[in-house]
Amino acid sequence: MKISARGEYGLRAMVFLASRQGDGLFSMQQIGSNGIVPLPFLAQILVDLRRANLIESVRGSKGGYRLCRPSQQIRVREVIEALAERLDLVNCLRTETCALSLSCPTRPFWRRVQQSLEEVMDHTTLADLTTGKGDIP
């Protein structure tokens, strides 16, 4: 599994909005400022995040984007999955069609690693990332 640039940029955009939650609306240019997210990617990323009800947009000259919920309630996994990122480490975890699925000696290991990854993403919120608590010891 490799999180694509799209997943990485989407998470950066969400952390930007989380760190400024309560400060109003932010334009696409503001979100992409300082190179945290390249503008050519940002428009579609924001559409997908809006469709997933993670952000809301307001149109008009004073419009922009903001989080739909408090940053403490938005999990990293939600953001990554909203951007159609696959969290599967290996193909055999996705399907039971592998001829070795019942007898594969490595499958239990991959399942444990997968569960650990999902647990970290499920227990890390945008608020954690804005306060530095996203750093796992």
pLDDT in tens, 50-84: 999 999 999 988 899 999 999 999 999 999 999 97
Q: In a 3-state reduction of DSSP, which class is residue 67?
A: strand
Parse the chain into domains and list their residue ranges: 5-131
Q: What is the pTM of this model?
A: 0.85
At residue 137, the pLDDT reads 45
At residue 135, the pLDDT reads 62
Residues 6+ apart with CB under 8 A from 118: 77, 87
5-131 CATH fold: Arc Repressor Mutant, subunit A (1.10.10)
Instruction: Band the pLDDT of 26: cuts 50, 70, 90.
Output: very high
